[in-house]
Amino acid sequence: MLIPFWPAIAQWVVLRRYISDAWSWVVRTVLGAYVAIPTMAFFYSWYLRYQSIFVQNPTIRLPMTWTASILTTLIGCVVISWFQSVALSKHTTRAGWWIVLNSLVWTAFSSWIIEIGAHDFMNDLRNYNSPYAYDYNITGEMAVKLIILIIPIASLIQGRILVWLFNSPKESR
């Protein structure tokens, strides 16, 4: 359950140079993750449960789970971004933009990670003898390469967003 700490701590290393209370970023990110992750798991399983009707009828192929991946990731990203925007609101007038922009960036990139996991899971469950079996091939190596590419690109964009936010500081009282 320590997984949400690692990205927050990595971000803290950078943010502490710019804001004095960067530790609140870590706390809010972790709290946001602990709210977002169960919410995402519930929503994703709820959505896919209703898609299982398609699996029961062999003449219908299982639809792509992109809708579930995108909506689930968007919900989780909005939750975490909202928590983080509270920490940013003390330092920038554009904290509300963090919710919108960060959610869109991470939804665009992280939904791939959820999608890869879902298809890998479906590959494990498919009936190889059926002509209507779920057909999606992704190797573990390919998944790792995609994830290794996704995280740095999204982080770079996220960093540029933070720079833009901090270019509009709040007035000190």
Over residues 3-9, mean pLDDT:
65
Q: Above 90 in pLDDT, residue 9?
A: no
Q: Above 70 in pLDDT, residue 173?
A: no
Q: Rounded to whole angstroms, how far apart are CA atoms 121 and 105? A: 25
- String of DSSP letters for 8-70: HHHHHHHHTTT-TTTHHHHHHHHHHHHHHHHHHHHHHHHHHHHHHHHHHSTTSPPPPSHHHHH
pLDDT reported for residue 36: 92
Q: Above 50 in pLDDT, residue 58?
A: no
Q: Token match 């997984």: residue?
A: 3
Q: What is the pLDDT of residues 119-157, one digit of tens each?
A: 666 666 665 555 555 555 666 677 777 777 887 888 888
Q: Token match 């972790």: residue?
A: 30
Inter-axis angle of helices 23-56 and 5-15, nearest 10: 140
Over residues 44-57, mean pLDDT:
64
Taking the whole predicted model, whether its pTM rises above 0.85 is answered as: no
Give 55's pLDDT tier (boundaries 50, 70, 90): low
pLDDT reported for residue 5: 63
Q: How far is CA 45 from the centre of its chain?
A: 16
Q: Rounded to whole angstroms, how far apart are CA atoms 15 and 37? A: 24
pLDDT reported for residue 62: 47
Q: What is the pLDDT of residues 61-117, one digit of tens each?
A: 445 567 777 888 899 999 999 999 999 998 889 999 999 999 999 888 877 777 777
Tokens describing residue 109: 């990139």
pLDDT reported for residue 59: 47
Inter-axis angle of helices 95-125 and 23-56, nearest 10: 40
